[in-house]
Amino acid sequence: MKLGEKIHYLREVEGNLRGLNRAMTQQELLKAIRSELGAPMSQSYLSQIESGARPHLTNTTRQLLAKFFKVHPGYLVDDPEGYHSELLSDARTLEDKLDLWLVSGAERFRRDPALRRALLALARHKDTRQCLLMLEAVMETPGLVDRLLEVLRPAPAESLKAMEPTPKKQIRKGEA
């Protein structure tokens, strides 16, 4: 992957993490860098980096972008020809690939601690594939997801009281 593609990908992830449901524009990125880190950068410089017209970053810019996107500065370079971010080996099983994919996903959702924990717990399970197949079956059973959440992750006591039905007034014989 080229440096420009990485910057574009990071803008996409950051936009989604900030609730935009889209990539941050270059202008939004520069404004956020200025307000959060107090460092200026020009839109034309960023555009040259993303287009590949400027294939290398200055050390200052690399450090600034790494700090903003919370990535290692070494990530912000072109990958060598033939480089793959995944380990490629015939010995790896489907389970290993699935677990690595889940761990990678957990890192993308680092700002949502509950979701991150859930993905990591799933990746750590000895039979991740079976867990996902079971989840599919649970989701296909009407009402089961809500019922299981009710039982496994009960709401705090005060919200449960609000959900309880109010007792009906008892009517004795002869009253009415």
CB 45 within 8 A of CB 55: no
| DSSP code per residue over 131-159 | HHHHHHHHHHSTTHHHHHHHHHSPPPHHH
Residue 128 falls inside a structural domain: yes
Are 59 and 102 contained in the same domain?
Answer: no
Are 103 and 63 contained in the same domain?
Answer: no
Are 57 and 10 contained in the same domain?
Answer: yes
Are 13 and 64 contained in the same domain?
Answer: yes
Residue 162 falls inside a structural domain: no
Are 56 and 26 contained in the same domain?
Answer: yes
| DSSP code per residue over 106-121 | HHHTTT-HHHHHHHHH
Are 64 and 32 contained in the same domain?
Answer: yes
Q: What pLDDT does residue 64 have?
A: 92
CB 14 within 8 A of CB 30: no
**Residues in contact with 82: Cβ distance below 8 Å, sequence separation at least 6, in sequence order:** none
Residue 110 falls inside a structural domain: yes
Residue 172 falls inside a structural domain: no
Spatial separation of the C-alpha atoms in residues 102 and 119, rounded to whole Å? 6
> What is the residue range of 68's domain?
3-75
Q: What pLDDT does residue 158 have?
A: 47
Residue 82 falls inside a structural domain: no
pTM for this one? 0.49
CATH for 54: 1.10.260.40
The count of domains in the chain is 2
Over its length of 176 residues, how does the chain's per-residue pLDDT go in tens digits? 788 888 988 888 888 888 888 889 999 999 999 999 999 889 999 999 899 898 888 899 999 999 998 888 888 888 787 766 655 544 346 677 788 888 888 888 888 888 888 888 888 888 888 999 999 999 999 999 888 888 888 776 544 455 455 554 555 555 55
Are 69 and 128 contained in the same domain?
Answer: no
Beta carbons within 10 angstroms of residue 41's beta carbon: 19
